[in-house]
Every structure is written in structure tokens, then in C-alpha cells.
A and B are shown apart, each in its own frame.
Chain A
Amino acid sequence: MTRRYLVVDDNIEFAENVAEILTDAGAEVSVAAEGRSALAQLRATRFDGIVTDMKMPGMSGAELLRELRLIDPGVPVVLLSAWAQDAQVDEARRLGLLAFLSKASGTPQLIELMTHARRDATVVLVDDDRALVENLTEALSSAGFTVCSATTVQELDALAVQPLAALVDIRVPGATDGAALARIKELFPGTPMLVVTARPDFEGEPDQDVFHKPFDTAKLLARLQALAGKAGAA
């Protein structure tokens, strides 16, 4: 089936270029120059992926993301920005991103990401190890998963979508062991739990998959892909 994408950027030449490239790759692509019209299109159409700029007049990319999660919680979103220090990027990460890319840093990567993006495949990632989070995010993105990342239990409250799975460190700062797991269970009962831990003796509950650090990322991805396959079939 033809995939449908939406590209949002006030720099209309850029939006049109990205649209042209995705169209060449066989997709159907709509363009919006600002957040409001993007949201209007989202209400009317179910997209397989969205590319949006961060800095736009009126509604920023992060604000658009917050609004669009209410309309279509499961759509993969790639956020583009000129600069990774935007304070809003962290908020956007909590709301769930397929990827965050720097503008002008590589069209092939963008196309690759969009082509493999999965709908309704959000993985919640809770860990305070920044390097591990970055590596996992990259691995998950390239396998098509949207990542909602949180470093504390409180940040989980931003979660707006039933996740496909939760990938949680048993120990996060400022909370008792397992508090993040409990919170996710409370917010979205039945979410499959993949527990990562640095404690070699940790065995986990029967309904949890335990991955001891350092773990094999490929194995973790395979597990998630199996879950995604099951969800797709259901």
C-alpha cells in the first residue's frame, strides 16, 4: 500500500524538497507550512510518518508534537532542528520521537528512517544513563520504533500513547527500585515490560523480560520486533 507522509516546515522550499524526494521513493506526501494546517491535515488523514521542523513561527515543532499526539498517538515523527540544544527537544523526546535530526545533515538518513517507520510502535525508555539511552534510541529508531524517553518517574506522566513495550531500568534516580515499572503499569496496564538492570542477581517477575547490562542490543531489538509483529497481526 502507498505510504503517506506529512512534511511540516515554514521553509517551504525545504518542505517541498523533502516531499519531492519521498514522492520519488513511491510515497504520497502532503506539505504544511505551519502547525495549524498540519493539525487540520492530521485530522483528515492517517499518515505513516511526519517530518517537522522545530523552529516555526506560531507553533513550534514540540508544540505541534504535543497537539498531534492527541489526534494520532501512534504516528512516527521525525523532528528536525538546526541545533540540538533547543530546550524543547527534551520535552519532545518525552512525547515520543522516531528521531531527532539536525537539518542539512543527511537526506539519505531521513529517507531511510521514514521508509522503515512503524505506526503504533512506541517504546518507552526509562534510564538515566545518557549514553545508553542515546545508543538505544538510535538502534530503536533505525528499526522503525518511536521512542519516548524519560530519565525520571515523573517524566512518564507526559506519556500520551499506549506503548508497544516499556524498556525500563529497574533503578532510576529519585525513586525506589521498580517505581518506574509500577507507574507504567498504572498508566497503561498490560504493557509488556522489558527490564534492563546492572544488578546481575536481579531475576524479575514472571511477566518481565530481564536484560542484564551489558546486553545484546540485537536480541533486544528482536524481542521488540516480535512484539510489533504480534501487535500488527492482532
Chain B
Amino acid sequence: MFALFQELQRYVGFGEADERALKALHPLLCDSFPAVSEVFYERVLQHADARAALTRGEKHVGQLKGTLVKWMNELFTGPWDQAYVERRARIGRVHVQIALPQHYMVSAMNVVRVELRERIALVIDERSPEGRAARDALERICDLDLALMLHTYREDLEQSQARSERLSTFGQLVGSIGHELRNPLGVIETSLYVLKGRPSTDERTLKHLERIGQQVVLANEIITQLLNLIRDRPLNRGKVELAQLVAEAIASVPEGPVSFTRPPPLEVTGDAIQLRQVVVNLAQNATHFAGPEGRVEVCLTSTPTEATLTVDDSGPGIDPSIRNRLFEPLVTTRPGGVGLGLALVRRVVERHGGKVAATRGPLGGARFTVTLPLEEEA
């Protein structure tokens, strides 16, 4: 991505002179950034589609305006480095996520460009050499930013299309592979049963028979998980006491110390077995990434309308390369992982009317937050 940025810089002729010009402009313009931001959102929100997409997200427009001011500060002060490129790329990605069409980025950039151009004209004489340099620098950096956003937009869109194709064939594939694998597993399992019934005192024989048995169970579990993922098992709804469910689920995760302060009983309506699986999967991931020396903290809180479960670990945090696809099937960074745990988590949580999100956590690693509605019956 940075290589692309450097190539684009050469292409539009963005150089040190432009960087100097932008930096010189910053103190003259920065007081007017909030006003530019106001104009920008006033214009953008006139479009019904854009308004719907922007206000659907969690962020309020007030927050978005602040982000735009920050964006303008960066535009003029740089540094125009790798981190800069990544921040710009994220804007394109967000557009794909909130399903805002590509051309909005072009017209939105134009609004900013025109506004800034007019404000520059107010502080510098446009016909002076400094004025021309300032104007050129603005055009170039706006071109560069737009190119970066459009590039990531296209890249992400292509990826998400490829993904949805992958998912539809995934379902069929999983169904038949699951079937076909259970047959040989059934043979292995029954053969093993016969062998275990034959008297043997050879320690190594016994050890390896035991090992085969464990691996058959493991393989069988993976198949079950895969099949569960593609089938719509109806939720077996009932009253579930979450505090106890979480405590039991955590206790069943063998690795590492997980700390959980048990809150007072908290009742939700849901499928106890599937909800338990959610907690187990999150806790297993957390203990894995925290490692034997690390820490995992699980916390369950509630408001009158929802229950919130957070799982924090002190691990390395979420790999940026899979951040956007974290909850999709077959995506994993765990050695030996199949990439089904989080996909199942999201599926179960969403079917309970809840949400799951991954962010950076207070222990330095990842934080997974699950929220479940409490007033199901109302």
C-alpha cells in the first residue's frame, strides 16, 4: 500500500515543496477547519442514502465532524508516511462496510477541496508564487488521498464479493465433506473399539490407541462444528441464568487462568447450550492468545435492557490482516485452527438478537464484547 502511495506521489508530482507549502498553510487555516467540517456534513447529509448510511452506524454526526477536523489537520501537517496511508485506506474500507457507494467519496472530496480552496484564497494572494504553490499542494494531496481511498474501496469490495461466493459454495462443500469424512471416521472408531478390547500390556500400544481415540473425537468435533455452522439449528429457548452459565463455561476451558468475578444472577431467554458455546469459544481463543503467562479477564454486566459480556486477553491483539474478516468462517490465525469458533459465536449471538464486536482491550490484547437483549418477552 505504501509503495502504491509513493508511486502515486511521483505520478501527481507531490514532493517536499508541497509538504512545506501544506505545513505553512496549516496555521493560517486550522481555525477554519470546524467550519469546513460543518459545511461538509450539511452538504453530505442532504443525500438521503448518505444520511441513512452515516447515521446507521454507532457514531454520531458530532463525532464524525470531529474526525473530519482531525483528517484536515493531518492533511496539512503529515507526516505523509506509512501510518498516514493506513489511516486514509481505512476511510475507503468504512465506505464498503456501511455500503456507501464509491461516487460519494469523489463528490465528498470535492466539497472539502472547494471549501479549502476558497479559504486559502482568503489568506494568501492566489497569484503570488506562494499562493500558486499552496494551491498546487492542496490539489495534489487531495488527489492522493482520494486515490488511496478509491483503491482500498475497490480492493475491499472485490474481497467481499469473492467472500460471498466462497461462502455459498462453502455450505455445500461442508455438507458433503462432513458426510464423507464421518464414514472413514466411523470405521476407525469401530476398529479402535475392537483393538482396545484385545488384551494388551504393551505400554506404547496402549498409548497410541489412546491417542488415535482422542484424535477421532477431535476430528468428529470439527465436523460437528462445521455442520452446525451451515445448518439452522432451531434455538431451544428457555430461561438461562447467565452468571452461572459463564462460570461453568469458563471452568470447562482447561488452559490458563481466567478471572471472572461472578455477578448476581442474570436471566435471559435463549439456548443454553449454544450460548455456552459462545463463552467457551471466546474464552478458548483468549487463553490461547494470552499464553500460559498471560491474563484473561471475563466480565458480565447488565443494564435494564441488555447484558454485556467482555472477554479481555493480554495477548498480541487482533492481527490487522484479518481484522475485517474476523467473524467469517475459515478465517484464523491460530496454528491448527479451522476458523470456525468466532463464526459460530457471531451466528449464535445474532440469532439471539445480540451483537458481538472485537476491539483493542485494556489488557493490551483483544477485547470481545457480546451484548444480548434482556427483554425478549416484552
A residues contacting B by CB (< 8 A) are: 11, 13-14, 17-18, 20-21, 24, 55, 80, 82-83, 85, 102-108, 130-131
Contact = CB atoms under 8 A, between A and B. Distances in A.
Contacts of A17: 187, 190-191, 193-194
Nearest to A102: B182
A107 B185 CA distance: 12
Contact of A18 (B190, B216, B224, B231): B190
A83 B227 contact: yes
Interface string B197-235: 100000000000000000010001000100100010010
A14 B179 contact: no
Contact of A104 (B216, B227, B234): B216
B183 interface: yes
A80 B185 CA distance: 13
19 contacts: A11-B183, A13-B187, A14-B187, A17-B190, A17-B193, A24-B197, A55-B179, A82-B179, A83-B175, A83-B178, A83-B179, A85-B231, A104-B189, A105-B220, A107-B189, A108-B193, A130-B234, A130-B236, A131-B236
Nearest to A86: B179
B66 interface: no
B186 interface: yes
A32 B181 CA distance: 21
Interface residues of B, number: 24
B66 to A, nearest CB: 50
A130 B237 CA distance: 11
A214 B355 CA distance: 35
A85 B179 CA distance: 11
A105 B193 CA distance: 12
B231 A103 contact: no
Contacts of B181: 82
A8 B175 CA distance: 23
A33 to B, nearest CB: 13
Nearest to B179: A82
Contact of A82 (B183, B190, B216): B183
A108 B213 CA distance: 13
A102 B190 CA distance: 13
Contact of B194 (A21, A102, A106, A131): A21
Nearest to A25: B197
Nearest to B224: A102
Nearest to A54: B179
B182 A107 contact: no
Nearest to A55: B179
B232 to A, nearest CB: 9
Question: What are the 9 A-B residue pairs with the smallest beta carbon separation, nearest first?
Answer: A17-B190, A82-B182, A104-B185, A107-B193, A103-B186, A104-B186, A82-B179, A103-B182, A13-B187
B373 to A, nearest CB: 23
Contacts of B191: 17
A131 B175 CA distance: 25
A134 B309 CA distance: 31
Contacts of A85: 227, 231
Interface string B227-255: 10001001010000000000000000000
A142 B272 CA distance: 25
Contacts of A131: 236
Nearest to B180: A82
A14 B193 contact: no
A160 B180 CA distance: 32
Contacts of A83: 175, 178-179, 182, 227
Contacts of B189: 104, 106-107
B331 to A, nearest CB: 24
B190 A14 contact: yes
B185 A103 contact: yes
A11 B231 contact: no
Interface string B158-185: 0000000000000000010011111101
A14 B178 contact: no
A145 B231 CA distance: 30
A139 B190 CA distance: 24
**Residue from B185, B187, B224 whose CB has the most chain A CB atoms within 10 Å:** B187
Given A24-B194, A102-B224, 13 more contacts: A13-B187, A14-B190, A17-B187, A82-B182, A83-B178, A102-B182, A103-B186, A104-B185, A104-B189, A104-B216, A105-B220, A108-B193, A131-B236
